[in-house]
Chain A
Amino acid sequence: MSDPVIAIVGAGPAGLRAAETLALAGLRPVLFDEAERPGGQIYRQPPPGAERPGAAIYGLEAGKAQAVHAILPTLGERIDHRAGTLVWNVFEGRLDTLRAGAFAHQPFDRLILATGAMDRVIPFPGWTTPGVFTLGGAQIALKAQGVSIGRRVAFVGAGPLLPLVAHQYAKAGAEVVAVLDVTPFGAKLRSAAGMLAQPSTLAKGLYYVARNALGRARRASGVRAIRVEGEGRVAALAWTDHKGAEHRVACDAVGASFGLRSESQLADLAGCTFAFDALTRQWAPVRAPDGRSSREDVFLAGDGAGIGGADVAELQGRRVALTVLQDVGRPVDVAEVARLDSALARQAQFRAALEGAYPYPEHLVAAVADDEILCRCEGVTAGALRDVVRHKGAAEVNRVKAFTRIGMGRCQGRVCGHAAAELVALERGCPVEDAGRLRGQPPVKPIPVLGGFS
């Protein structure tokens, strides 16, 4: 009997650890990743020609990044690495792929989705102006390319990425002019007790906060509203502080985002059941502690099925691989299973505290004006959404999409889907989970019109 085909999508920390575990057990997993070089977004590697020393790119995480990057070179042919390959669809035991302008497909017996996360976005005045990026985008510009998104950069956010990116920019020599946290500082202190379950991460967070405090950047917590000024390019960032006072700082670029959201489109297309997670205010594919989804042939690891961060992703990658090994009748190290389960349980406690420290900034989404662009692909405003909710009976986001084209553009609602659901919920006065979630449609990312398939 031939070995079962185990396909993995995503070569970040979760996918790589899963592939490593499977390869060491004697299987040869097929690892798909859109990037040419492994590492995912958190440990993203510069492209050939743009390499720099790991310490300069990843800072305190350089050791972890190096270890994750070493997996594929170490295991060589024992992992079938399909770099530069977009998985654009999954249906009935088969992946549809695009590599260098050629379509192909891959049948699988088991599928591990390790599709990661992107920034969670809330619109604000001026957010589509050239020069406004997500915090993650700003960080990648620096990590993968050694560039800053502008000469004078302001950062806004809600989540641990904010102090981290600001610190990295300042350290790299960029002029950071403002670091604005839209969550109140009190929330962070209240959650510190929970974070003590994971002392190293707490220490790291405080380190970045302290380092940033040394800079000349304007700093504020509990920011109520933000606004990018400038026609055609960023001229300034204005904000309202926690007491209602207005402030303004000249800048030419802004990094802004508000936590993370799972990249769960493929899990959706695979037919996984989703559930609403109240802690992170988002829908995610249902995942058991051992990495099982609602489907027997699909498994989940890393941020793509709920935000846990890179360390959790590595643990989940290893753990899910053991579940798959067990399912395909391979021997499994029971002690290792217990060790991983206990480590994951500790991390979950920390994660709950971290989310408590950065509650979802509902005040920002409530403040989105009618004339503000909500869907940046299609240029549809928040007012258009409110109109169809109020006057055309659209009660959930897919109906809103059908009526307004919100979420119908190139990004398939990745960027606006969350805020759209929040706005529907606010308009209806219902819980956000009752506003639904955008259903996935293939392709999960644009694919070219190509011939030769008649």
Chain B
Amino acid sequence: MSARLAVDVCIIGGGIAGCASAVALRKAGLTAAVLDRGLCGAGASGVNFGGVRQQGRNLHELPLARRSRRIWDSLAAILEQDVEFDVSGHIKLARSEADLAELETYARNARDYGLDLQMLGANRVRSEIPWLGDKVIGASLSPEDGQANPRVVGPAFARLARRLGAEIHEHRRVTAARRTETGFEVEAGDLTVASAWLVNTAGVFGGTVAGWFGEHAPVEALMPNMLVTEPLPYFVSRSIGVCGGDVYLRQTGRGNVIFGGGRGWGDAEIARSRPLADESLGGMSRTLDLVPALTNAQVIRTWTGIDGQTPDRIPVIGHSSTTPQLVHAFGFSGHGFQLGPVMGEIIAELVTQGRTPTPIAPFSIERFAAGGVASSVEAHTHTEH
């Protein structure tokens, strides 16, 4: 039996950005429906590393990240859900003089955005993190960064959206969306949604959805490969990354150490992904080089998930270049978790006011219009988590 639904805003993709948009739109008095191919918050929003990190982001992302960080402070209260947000700080390690120079330059630039980073010399790093191996010669600390449990955030946004009156439709894969005289018509199985606005938070499918409206945005599947140990005595006091991005780790309050290792396998079309053994073992080796204390720890689970990655590793955010009342927010390239909460507010601003006070010009979909990455966007080549 087919059903029809009419709302002000139809949102394709029930990740954190999509569900947070539904929340913000309901608060602004609009009706909204979220369509997700699976369960809300179970995709890239739910299976990522769990870093709530500003440090190391592409500088263009910092205004978004700064604004989102303020939301994180009250996120548990907003969602009525413990999200295990721990302001552990994020420390980025240098293993060479070039690394150190990169960190210093970044810290100087970040200050322009109000992000205060502290440079730590070798001795200071060693006294702060005595269990680090001997390859670290310095670091940059972002005290207000931290970590959270990604599995619960997206679903909690979905529940809040539902409590506020949004329509949440799970296991509804959108197969087509088109512009009509009055707005949009979106088909998801036996459900057709008519809306005045359309929000594209479709993650790895964001480029496909954009394509339905004659826009080009190259998005490829990104499968970060991750591992988690059995609970260990607490010792990883900070969330940790390195210049180059090939090692990252954190320890949950329960003691499990989560760390990354390369890339997994995935097929977005059939929604299947798998961690890869060789990648996991490589991740072990690199992490062990940095953290010898993990010797003997037992890995109890490995996993991956499918995110959408753009060529320049920054998302597409903003109005469509071809279609009025279509808004994009996808391609977060493996580091969208921290940004998720603010995306709801920004999308609602774009819908209700036509613009947002947060600078988003660098994320315009038009940068791909000529078929290549616009040179004005300085690609920050390493994906971090």
Contacts and interface: CB of A to CB of B under 8 A. Distances in A.
Nearest to A411: B300
Which among A105, A399, A449, A451 has the greatest number of chain B C-beta atoms within 10 A? Answer: A449
Contacts of B152: 402-403
Which among B265, B285, B303 has the greatest number of chain A C-beta atoms within 10 A? Answer: B285
Given A91-B276, A442-B277, A448 B297 contact: yes
A449 B285 CA distance: 8
Contacts of A447: 298-299
Contact of B284 (A89, A105, A409, A449): A449
A453 B159 contact: no
B275 A442 contact: yes
A91 to B, nearest CB: 6
B274 interface: yes
B155 A89 contact: no
B294 A449 contact: yes
A108 interface: no
Contact of A403 (B151, B276, B297): B151
Given A393-B155, A393-B159, A443-B302, A449 B282 contact: no
Contacts of B276: 91
Contacts of B192: none
Nearest to B168: A393
Chain B: number of interface residues, binned into ranges: 35 or more
A448 B298 contact: yes
A112 to B, nearest CB: 20
B237 interface: no
A454 interface: yes
A408 B252 CA distance: 14
Contacts of B46: 402
Given A402-B42, A442-B275, A453 B300 contact: no
A316 to B, nearest CB: 28
Nearest to A92: B265
Contacts of B104: none
B215 interface: no
Given A89-B277, A392-B155, A410-B230, A451 B289 contact: yes
Contacts of B301: 408, 412, 441-443
Interface in B45-93: 46
Contacts of A402: 42, 46, 151-152, 155
A449 B288 contact: yes
26 contacts: A91-B277, A94-B277, A103-B277, A103-B281, A105-B277, A393-B155, A393-B159, A402-B151, A402-B155, A403-B151, A409-B300, A441-B303, A442-B275, A442-B280, A443-B300, A446-B298, A446-B299, A446-B300, A447-B299, A448-B298, A449-B295, A451-B288, A453-B278, A453-B284, A454-B282, A454-B289
Interface of B: 39, 42, 46, 151-152, 155, 159, 229-230, 254, 265, 274-278, 280-282, 284-289, 294-303
Interface of A: 89, 91, 94, 96, 103, 105, 378, 392-393, 399, 402-403, 408-410, 412, 441-443, 446-454
